[in-house]
């Protein structure tokens, strides 16, 4: 049983997701509409801008990871970096939403502001997410903290739905640029305050890694490891497919259902469904594996997406469909982070190195880059179909909007369900893995020299050795009584 103090620490850590979802989630939801309907860019050009953001994410997250690793080696941990980087990121977000009021409409300015914001956010995002692996080592507790994170993210989504999204809509139709700039400044301030408080109050948890362990961390993760491959595929599906429904709601509500006033209500229904889903999936994390619950969440999302597509002619019914989708998406967005924290332990067992920052950066690079690629695809498709901002759309454009908003997440969910069948890391197996890791550390066993050559001295960082072969003979004897290395992902 986790004590009250540790639960409080996990809640303090998870509160940071309120600020993160406020700025990055708000930007992800509104940025394409902002570029097309506020700045007046064509869908194709907006798509190219998001492609530039995707390329930036590749670089920014890797730079942030390398910076985090260097700072950890000097004794400055994840929390220090979160607190220091909060204010610059808040200012970058506020500037992005103040640009229409300031008259900064040149394409190069938009690209620079977008890259500046995403780069500043990466310096917050990598250490905050990696901190989860240090907060607790218990698999069930990691499921709970994943739920706490999504609870705060969903609370933030309510603010985005009721304040930021309507203001962006008004800016597109009524040119209310000053109100949008004010909302951006307030959101940025809340973000900075939340992240600083999160870093200040979430100390403690699992013992801090030694300087040697921090030095063994790295961004050159073992790419051929089955668990790393599985998490990469999950990141791709989570970033590219799952959020597409929310990203196209502004277009579906305005140009397909012809009820732009319904968009905020649909987003509220989506958030309400996520709230209910957080409570349900979090309660179930103690009894079922995270991979099983994730597959169940994708199944619920599939049913909701099908129902939404069948009920486009009945706007009021769409609210219930959006709530069902949100209920499923709660699992989709919360549980991969718990799986990723467990993956750090699996990779440490197999390779003798704890790629903590590296694995979280690897996952974040794929999630954010695939999300930007998804937004680019939406923009390019709308431009190719002849989308005209603020005008009645042709049947072809409407069909394209619906196909993007419902088809992509539907296919992604079905693929994720199949992927989860390959994950076999349950709570009991993870517990045995932790015991084995603890015995290895106590025995002082080091990986054999062949492992060092494979991971440290060769250019092919993807070399993977089985857990038993990666240990010295002394370590294998000491652990032969405990367990065999679990196959977290069946190869």
In the chain, the number of structural domains is 2
Q: How far is CA 481 from CA 68, 344, 432, 443, 478, in A?
A: 37, 23, 12, 14, 7
DSSP secondary structure letters along 369-423:
HHHHHHHHHHHHHHHHHT--TTSPPPHHHHHHHHIIIIIHHHHHHHHHHHHHTTB
Q: Are residues 253 and 360 in the same domain?
A: yes
Q: Where are the alpha helices (DSSP H) in 42-77?
A: 43-73
In a 13 Å sphere around the CA of 47, the CA atoms on its Cβ side amount to 15
Domain containing 30: what range? 12-204
pLDDT tens for the chain, 491 residues: list them.
Answer: 445 677 788 888 999 999 998 888 888 777 777 888 888 888 788 888 877 877 887 788 888 888 888 887 787 888 898 999 999 999 999 998 888 888 887 888 888 888 899 889 988 988 998 888 888 888 888 888 888 988 898 888 888 878 887 888 777 677 778 888 888 899 899 999 999 999 888 775 454 554 455 555 667 788 888 889 999 999 999 999 988 998 888 888 888 888 887 888 888 899 889 889 988 998 898 888 888 999 999 999 999 999 999 998 888 899 999 999 999 999 998 899 889 988 888 888 888 888 888 888 889 889 888 888 888 888 888 888 888 877 888 899 999 999 999 999 999 999 999 999 888 778 888 888 888 888 887 776 554 333 333 322 323 333 333 333 233 333 333 433 333 434 444 43
For residue 53, give the CATH number of its domain: 1.20.1250.20
How long is the chain? 491
For residues 176 and 65, membership in a common domain is answered with yes
147 lies in the same domain as 282 = no
Residue 383 and residue 47 in contact, taking contact as beta carbons nearer than 8 Å: yes
Residues 288 and 418 in one domain: yes
Residues 190 and 246 in one domain: no
Judge if 194 and 307 occupy the same domain: no
User: 447 and 351 in contact (C-beta within 8 Å)?
Assistant: yes
In a domain, 301, yes or no: yes
């Amino acid at each position: 049983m986790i004590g009250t103090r540790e639960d409080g620490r996990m809640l303090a850590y998870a509160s940071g997701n309120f600020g993160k979802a406020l700025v990055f989630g708000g930007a992800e939801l509104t940025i394409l509409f902002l570029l097309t309907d506020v700045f007046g860019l064509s869908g194709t050009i907006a798509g190219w801008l998001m492609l530039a953001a995707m390329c930036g994410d590749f670089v920014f997250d890797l730079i942030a990871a390398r910076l985090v690793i260097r700072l950890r080696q000097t004794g400055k941990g994840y929390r220090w970096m979160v607190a220091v980087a909060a204010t610059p990121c808040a200012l970058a977000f506020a500037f992005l939403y103040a640009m229409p009021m300031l008259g900064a409409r040149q394409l190069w300015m938009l690209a620079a502001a977008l890259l500046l914001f995403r780069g500043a956010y990466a310096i917050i995002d990598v250490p905050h997410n990696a901190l989860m692996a240090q907060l607790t080592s218990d698999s069930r507790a990691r499921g709970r903290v994943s739920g706490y994170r999504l609870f705060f993210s969903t609370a933030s989504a309510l603010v985005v739905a009721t304040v930021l999204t309507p203001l962006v809509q008004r800016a597109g139709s009524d040119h209310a640029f000053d109100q949008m700039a004010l909302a951006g400044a307030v959101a940025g301030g809340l973000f900075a305050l939340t992240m600083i408080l999160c870093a200040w109050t979430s100390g403690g948890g699992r013992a801090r890694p030694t300087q040697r362990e921090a030095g063994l961390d790295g961004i050159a993760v073992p790419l051929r490891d089955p668990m790393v491959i599985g998490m990469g595929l999950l990141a791709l599906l989570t970033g590219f497919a799952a959020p597409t429904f929310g990203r196209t709601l502004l277009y579906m509500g305005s140009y397909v259902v012809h009820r732009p006033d319904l968009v905020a209500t649909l987003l509220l229904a989506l958030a309400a469904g996520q709230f209910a889903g957080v409570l349900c999936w979090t309660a179930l994390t103690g009894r079922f594996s995270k991979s099983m619950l994730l597959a169940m969440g994708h199944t619920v999302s599939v049913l909701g997406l099908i129902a939404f597509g069948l009920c486009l002619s009945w706007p009021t019914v769409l609210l219930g469909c959006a709530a069902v989708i949100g209920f499923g998406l709660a699992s989709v967005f919360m549980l991969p982070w718990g799986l990723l924290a467990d993956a750090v332990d699996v990779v440490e067992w197999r390779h003798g190195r704890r790629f903590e920052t590296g694995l979280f950066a690897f996952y974040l690079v794929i999630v954010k880059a695939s999300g930007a690629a998804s937004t680019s695809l939406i923009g390019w498709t709308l431009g190719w179909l002849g989308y005209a901002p603020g005008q009645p759309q042709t049947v072809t454009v409407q069909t394209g909007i619906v196909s993007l908003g419902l088809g992509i997440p539907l296919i992604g969910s079905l693929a994720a369900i199949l992927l989860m069948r390959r994950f076999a890391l349950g709570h009991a197996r993870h517990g045995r893995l932790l015991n084995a890791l603890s015995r290895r550390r106590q025995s002082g066993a080091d990986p054999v020299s062949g492992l060092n050559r494979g991971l440290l001295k060769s250019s092919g960082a993807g070399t993977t050795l089985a857990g038993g072969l990666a240990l010295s003979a002394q370590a294998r004897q000491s652990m032969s009584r405990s367990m065999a290395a679990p196959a977290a992902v069946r190869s």
